[in-house]
Homo-oligomer: A and B are copies of this chain.
């Protein structure tokens, strides 16, 4: 199949049908009226805006969650915006099918209406970046900018988004660290088409800085500060936000996800196939078989985490996994890799080189002719010299599970703050995982989870 055929085939699946468009339009109309009525009835000075992929017409077929932003005047105090915003959200949601309150920087209402998820998010009615006060305020500006510049390339954005999803590089959430929808839109606007973006996977990385709104000329001081900051943090890409020179749109994009895009783009151009957009489910394997073949051991911590969103949980799990890696390394185990996630419970998987270490650890001591040398000599029943330094040995726990328990008891693992206590209570499993983690364990151990050539 050549590229054009693939693209056409994929487009048929991801371009919303006329029917779906009509449904979305009626949905937005109804929501808008409901919002306006409610605002009026409450006597508020608030403007409702649709933002996100629906508002930009870059949503994928079947994927039409609504983001309805409730924009308060700039002179509203933050506390009032929080409370009045939530109150207004609830009042609107009362007229929809159901709702719950969710928490990000501020609380907001997540409602359902006609089978669709509708987020009702309070924000400030900003005119430009100078007005931005909360993290969500820019969305209105983003929507406006994309709509002004997209010039009918909406399907190209759809292709790129679907491609990024297919290769597992989509989503700017902190636990994904991939491409955001807005970043995909900017890339298409900048380079003209899905195919051009994919062809430029290497060029974009080397060019490093993308500045579609010409901020480096218009606001050189601020824009350069952004470039400097992001360069120092060694980000793969610096995309100066067209609506805010202080911000790198791809600040959360990791090297791993850019790398996936880099290699998969290359593979796609070499051998185009719809499978890049809709990958077949990976073949399942047996994690126990994998363990046997590798001659390693799998330690799994099952963690009962407090009610915590993935955005908060995942970085903490990752930090804790790295903590275990270091602590176990110090204790004489080699950690070949780790994997974190959430199934029923949160989990940390560690692949270690063995179940049991030797029972003896050699303790290097001080030089023999010092006071500390004498202390060491007296404290140990077995001491010997190598050069001028004393050595001794001690008996230690063998099993990696026991070692983990001991490390936790002695607070010798650097753990994510918010889950420290939960980890101390974790179940620690050796070479065994519950049913719901079997596939995860296999994908981790076989590295198929991350294999770029898979």
Contact = CB atoms under 8 A, between A and B. Distances in A.
Interface string A436-454: 0000000000010011111
A382 B255 contact: no
Contacts of A369: 202, 205-206, 262
Interface stretch (A97-105, A136-144, A290-298, A421-429): A290-298
B334 A332 contact: yes
A398 B392 CA distance: 29
A387 B295 contact: no
Interface residues of A, number: 48
Nearest to A454: B382
A236 interface: yes
23 contacts: A254-B387, A259-B368, A259-B390, A263-B368, A293-B359, A294-B359, A295-B356, A295-B357, A295-B358, A295-B398, A296-B358, A334-B358, A336-B358, A336-B360, A354-B357, A354-B358, A380-B453, A381-B453, A382-B447, A382-B453, A383-B452, A383-B453, A385-B452
Nearest to A368: B259
A388 interface: yes
A32 to B, nearest CB: 44
Given A202-B369, A262-B369, A334-B332, A255 B388 contact: yes
A22 to B, nearest CB: 43
A386 B259 CA distance: 10
Contact of A450 (B206, B236, B357, B385): B385
Contacts of A259: 368, 385, 388, 390
Given A263-B377, A381-B453, A384-B447, 19 more contacts: A205-B369, A255-B368, A255-B388, A259-B385, A259-B388, A262-B368, A262-B369, A295-B356, A295-B360, A296-B358, A336-B362, A353-B358, A354-B358, A382-B447, A382-B454, A383-B451, A384-B451, A384-B452, A385-B452
Contacts of A452: 377, 383-385
Contacts of A450: 384-385
B296 A447 contact: no
B295 A359 contact: yes
A341 interface: no
A36 interface: no
Nearest to A201: B369
A260 interface: yes
A256 to B, nearest CB: 4
